[in-house]
Amino acid sequence: MTERLENLVGAFANSIADAVLTAAKDEVDVAGPSAAALALIQHEPGIAIETLRTGLALTHAGTVRLIDRLEGAGLVERSASQIDKRAVALSLTAEGEAVAAAILARRQSVISHSLKSLSVKEREALERIVEKLLQATVKDVAHAYAICRLCDDEACEDCPIEAGLESSPT
Amino acid sequence: MTERLENLVGAFANSIADAVLTAAKDEVDVAGPSAAALALIQHEPGIAIETLRTGLALTHAGTVRLIDRLEGAGLVERSASQIDKRAVALSLTAEGEAVAAAILARRQSVISHSLKSLSVKEREALERIVEKLLQATVKDVAHAYAICRLCDDEACEDCPIEAGLESSPT
DNA sequence: CTTGATTATGTGCGCGAGTCATATAAAAGA
DNA sequence: TCTTTTATATGACTCGCGCACATAATCAAG
C-alpha cells in the first residue's frame, strides 16, 4: 500500500549513485564503466576480460574496447594468462593503481559525506539493514561482481554479499 | 575509520539503481535518460526543455535530441508555451502516459521486491533514516529534480526532499 | 589422437547518443 | 530602443557500444 518507502529508497539510490559517478568523472577523467573496470581489476588482479565483462554488464566487444582504451591510457596491462592460454590476464599499472585508489577514496568520501547527518545509532541500524538487504539480494557471482564493482575490498571485512552467495549456491 | 558502512551503502545503491534501470529497459525499450524524461514530464506536464535538462544532467543539445527521439516515438508532444513564447511545453501522449506508468510501476515493484526481506520495524527504521538523509542531501531545485527523476509523485506524500529544499533556500 | 563443440579474445562496420559551436527568436533590463 | 540574457534548434563531429564474424585454445567424446 504505502509506496512511500520505495520512492524514498529509489531516490536515495539515485542520489548516491549519481554522486559517486560524477565524483569519479570530476576527480580523474574516468567515466562510469572505466571506473568500475579499474576497481574490479584492482580487486582481483589477473582477472580475465570475460570475467570482467560479467561485472560490467557489457558485451564482449564493448569490454575489449574498454580495455583497449584503458591500456592506451596507460592504466591497464594485458598479459598472457598462465592457466588458460586463450585468456588475457589484466593488471593495473602503477598509474592505474593510483587512479583506482583515487576513485575508491573519492567514493568513500562522497558516501561518507552524504551520511554525515546520521547519529551513531542510526548508522548502526542502517548498516544492519543494508547488510540484510544485500545478503538477500545477491543472485549469483556475476551479480555480486556487478554490485561490488566499486567496493573497496580492503575496507569490506565480512562482506555480506559473499556470505549471501555461499548460503544460496548457484 | 570503519569504511564498511560506506561500502555497503554504495553497493546497495548500485544494486537498486541497476535493477531499476534494467527493469525499465526490459519492460519498455527505454534507456536511462528517456525513462527519467518521461517520468519528469508526467510529474510536471508542460515542463520546458530547459527545466527538464537540469534534472537529466545533459547538455541543452542532448536534451533537444532526446525529446526529438521521444517525440518521434510518439511518446511526447511539443506545444507552444503560453507564458513564454520561446519555451516549449512538453506533455505526454496517451502512449507516453502508458509507458511512464509502466516504468514507475516497474520501479516500484523492483524496489519493493528487494526490500521484501525486511521486517516492519526495519522498514520503519529505514524510512526514517533515508528520509533524514535525503532531506540533508538536497542542494537546490536542479538537484531535487535529478534525485526525484524517477519518483512517483502520486505515491510520495510529504516528500522530504521538498521539505529539505524549503528549509535551505537557494 | 582426432574431430567437433564450446570458450576467450580480437576486429570491421555501423548506429545511436551526446557534445561543441553556432543560429534564431523571444524576453528582460538599462 | 538597444543590449544582454534565455530557450530552443541544428549541422558537424566524436565516442562508446553492439552486431556479426574470425581466430585460437580448451574441452568432450569417440
pLDDT digits (tens, 9 = 90+) for A117-131: 999 999 999 999 999
| C-beta of residue A13 within 8 angstroms of C-beta of residue B16 | yes
Mean pLDDT score across all residues of chain A: 88
- CA nearest to B137, candidates B3, B13, B45: B13
Q: What is the pTM of this model?
A: 0.87
Q: Given an 8 Å threshold on Cβ–Cβ distance, is B15 in contact with A155?
A: no
Strand C proximal to B58 Cβ, under 7 A: yes
CB-CB under 8 Å, B4 with A127: yes
The answer to whether B101 and B94 have CB atoms below 8 angstroms apart is no
Q: What is the pLDDT of residue A166?
A: 66
Cα atoms in the Cβ-side hemisphere of radius 13 Å centred on A78: 16
DSSP B57-77: T--HHHHHHHHHHHHHTTSEE
Lowest-confidence segment of A155-159, B36-40, B99-103 by average pLDDT: A155-159
The C1' atom of D11 and the CA atom of B62 lie apart, in whole Å, by 14
Write the CB contacts of B61 (distance below 8 Å, at least 6 apart in sequence). none
Residue B107 has pLDDT above 70, yes or no: yes
Mode of pairing for the β-strands spanning A88-92 and B76-80: unpaired
From chain B, the residues in CB contact with A57 under 8 A are: 18, 22
User: In chain A, pLDDT over 70 holds for what percent of residues?
Assistant: 95
Q: Is the pLDDT at A89 greater than 80, yes or no?
A: yes
The better pLDDT of the pair B119, B165 is held by B119
Q: B134, A16: Cβ pair inside 8 Å?
A: no
pLDDT at A2 over 80: no
Range B153-167 average pLDDT: 74
Residue–nucleotide distance: B79 CA to D3 C1' (Å): 29
Residues from chain A contacting residue B123 (CB–CB below 8 Å): 5
What is the average per-residue pLDDT within B152-161? Answer: 77
Evaluate if the CB of B60 falls below 7 Å from strand C: yes
pLDDT the model gives residue A170:
39
**What are the residues whose beta carbons fall under 8 Å from the beta carbon of B157, sequence distance 6 or more?**
A4
Cα–Cα distance, A15 to B19 (Å, whole number): 15
The number of beta carbons lying within 10 Å of the beta carbon of residue A60 is 10
Within 7 Å of a protein beta carbon, the nucleotides of strand C are 7-12, 17-21, 25-28
A128-151: pLDDT as tens digits: 999 999 988 887 888 888 998 888
Percent of chain B with pLDDT over 70: 95
